Chains A and B, each alone.
Chain A
Amino acid sequence: MAAISLAGLTKSFGDVTAVDHINLDILPGEFITLLGPSGSGKTTVLRMIAGFETPSAGTINLDGVDVTMVPANQRDVNTVFQDYALFPHMSVQENVEYGLKVKKVAKAQRRARALEALESVALGEYASRKPSQLSGGQRQRVALARALVNRPKVLLLDEPLGALDLKLRQQMQFELKTLQRNTGITFVFVTHDQEEALVMSDRIVVFNAGRIEQVGTPQDIYEHPLTEFVSEFVGTSNVFSGAQAQSLSGGLDRFSVRPEKIEINSAVTHEITAQGKLKDIEYLGPLIRYVVDVDGQHVIVLSQNDEQNSKDLANHIGHAVTVSWRRDAMQVVT
């Protein structure tokens, strides 16, 4: 049975439909990511699951029980907020204990559990501090401990890593993934960062304009995007359409090719080849990015940093080049 089951879920704010008939089953123990640009409805879905927003239509089932009209404080889910939402007047310890306190857990027991939770995020010695005395990453972990100490069936995470710098974010991504695997709690993770989604998720749900574009594993989403939106939002893509697509592919109306699947002036050419003019070369460190003009279409090519190769090509800017890719690298999109 699904841990969370959304059916026909809709939310309107006045004239604006933020979430439009979403159907989704989330499995127990799954790390699922709701991915989409801002305003795509992913956070609203999360807030409806938590109970902070009431759906305009549709139902939400938790463990097979309809909780659509159940208030937030009576749902067995916990949330980690984007701004952490730690209570500024309480110490770290009191913050973590709060959920147990309102559930009337005995004092000694809740102290022990809170401390345990804090230790699991390596903050045991910060228990008596105020949130304002902690760094961003530490606050993040307190928020996590505060949610996990309640042992929820589902943990909702609303862009929890957005405010952290890159290094810390990568470290936390790893820690969260490990934590999820060890606890077996269902994680519903909201982000607009496609890379983060690819790294962490069992499954990704791509949102656009209040609707689901595609649901699938990271590989599915990346390798086989079903729509132009997914192909361009997750990674970058070269989308060909119309007559050009027809002639290149020999029959496809519209397809996309990932830049790293395209070879430029290589010794071995693949099934599909095209002639173009090299417009630009960008040096990205491990990769080199080429921009090739193929009949007015800018085609992006990414290849491994092979110094010799790039040096040779540098002299070719403005000259004709050949690009080629394998037939199975093409993905039909709508």
Chain B
Amino acid sequence: MMSNLDRISARRDVRRAASLLAAPLLWLLGIYIGALAILFLTSFYTVDSFTNQVIHEFTFQNFIDVFTDHAYLNATLRTLGVAVSVTLVCAFLAIPMAFYMARIASPARRPFLVALVLTPLWASYLVKVYSWRTMLTPESGVIAWLLHPFDVQSPGYGIVGVIITLSYLWLPYMVLPIYSGLERLPSSLLDASADLGASTLQTMRDVVLPNVKPAVIAGSVFTFSLSLGDYITVQIVGGKNQMLGNVVYQNFSLNLPFAAAVASIPVVIMVVYLAMIRRTGALENL
């Protein structure tokens, strides 16, 4: 039974928790969600065509423009394609990498390998992208030189270059969750699978992959959303291609409402994506 004293202290606990959480909650609701809401609201306004100042007049015109102009549909599809490809490339590379790090390398070397995977994150984003620009240079770049003996041309500047560069940039965000997922996987499961007669490949397919799936999905949230929002990489290595981020960047100072309408596309895509993966329970892995 609860004594009066306990009850008072419980009430005090609640009050203390509330006062502790008030600031972050205010931040979450006011700054973060509020900003998103204002963004969405702005997309229904229009601008003065000469001074580019926002006029608070309700209109669907921005969305009509976004959905009727094929250019923006193309940009959306291109952006989605890039985000999906980057996510697949990252998963494809990260699973064996993480498996080696978590399962094959000796435990003493693991922290070192994790540090190695994280190293690229310490370098400036722009430096990395410009390095890829140099490497991807058609005809004279390192990639062209490496591919030359196989009679294959460098992808040069274009969508393939963007996918390669973004995959490089976001790979650590895929490796780390898979690594921690694999590290948590009890080694007895692999022994058990072999014990029951499964080959290494069967064990990979039937035991390892299903168990790291939530980790891969968690990683994909990063690679997918970071790719959706990127606009600098595509400017530097994308040739003349553009993604949704570029449309926003091109328009935000001239036609903020239109930029807001375009900016809500990736937000909607992300919400749909998150809702889809929520069923898998992978969000708990983030």
Chain A–chain B contact at Cβ < 8 A: yes
Contact A146 to B196, CB < 8 A, known contacts A52-B191, A88-B211, A102-B202: yes
Q: Is B121 an interface residue (CB 8 A)?
A: no
| A71, A73, A146 pick with most chain B CB within 10 angstroms | A73
Q: Is A167 an interface residue (CB 8 A)?
A: no
The answer on a CB contact under 8 Å between B197 and A73 is: yes
- Write the B187-222 contact mask toward A (1 if CB under 8 angstroms, else 0): 011011111111100100011001100000000000
Which residues of B have CB within 8 Å of A47?
A: 191
The answer on a CB contact under 8 Å between B211 and A102 is: no
Measured in the bound complex, the distance between the Cα atoms of B207 and A50 in whole Å is 19
For this complex, into which size category does the number of interface residues on chain A fall?
20 to 34
Which residues of B have CB within 8 Å of A176?
A: none
Measured in the bound complex, the distance between the Cα atoms of B202 and A196 in whole Å is 36
The answer on a CB contact under 8 Å between B199 and A85 is: no
Which residues of A have CB within 8 Å of B107?
A: none
The answer on a CB contact under 8 Å between B202 and A85 is: no
The answer on a CB contact under 8 Å between A89 and B188 is: no
Smallest CB gap from A74: residue in B:
B197
Which residues of A have CB within 8 Å of B211?
A: 87-89
Q: Of A52, A85, A99, A150, which is within 8 A of B189 by CB?
A: A85
Which residues of B have CB within 8 Å of A88?
A: 211
Which residues of B have CB within 8 Å of A99?
A: 196-197
Q: How far is the CB of A96 from chain B (nearest CB, A)?
A: 10
Smallest CB gap from A96: residue in B:
B196
Q: Of B193, B194, B197, B210, which is within 8 A of A150 by CB?
A: B197
- From A27-35, A75-83, A232-240, give the one contacting chain B: A75-83
The answer on a CB contact under 8 Å between A102 and B198 is: yes
Smallest CB gap from B185: residue in A:
A88
Q: Is A55 an interface residue (CB 8 A)?
A: no
Q: Is A255 an interface residue (CB 8 A)?
A: no
The answer on a CB contact under 8 Å between A52 and B196 is: no
Contact A73 to B189, CB < 8 A, known contacts A87-B207, A88-B211: no
Q: Is B186 an interface residue (CB 8 A)?
A: yes
Which residues of A have CB within 8 Å of B207?
A: 87
The answer on a CB contact under 8 Å between B186 and A85 is: yes
Q: Is A311 an interface residue (CB 8 A)?
A: no
The answer on a CB contact under 8 Å between A81 and B191 is: yes
Which residues of B have CB within 8 Å of A81?
A: 188, 191-192
Measured in the bound complex, the distance between the Cα atoms of B195 and A87 in whole Å is 13
Contact A103 to B197, CB < 8 A, known contacts A85-B188, A87-B207, A89-B211: yes
Measured in the bound complex, the distance between the Cα atoms of B211 and A42 in whole Å is 30
Measured in the bound complex, the distance between the Cα atoms of B211 and A87 in whole Å is 9
Measured in the bound complex, the distance between the Cα atoms of B197 and A146 in whole Å is 12
Measured in the bound complex, the distance between the Cα atoms of B224 and A179 in whole Å is 53
Smallest CB gap from A89: residue in B:
B210
A-B contact pairs, 13 of them (CB 8 A): A50-B195, A52-B194, A71-B194, A73-B196, A73-B198, A83-B186, A83-B188, A85-B186, A86-B192, A87-B193, A98-B198, A102-B197, A150-B197
Known contacts A73-B199, A81-B192; 9 additional CB pairs below 8 A are A51-B194, A51-B195, A73-B196, A79-B191, A85-B192, A87-B189, A87-B211, A98-B193, A98-B206
Q: Nearest 10 CB-CB pairs, A to B?
A: A99-B196, A85-B188, A85-B192, A72-B194, A89-B210, A102-B198, A73-B194, A79-B195, A102-B197, A81-B188
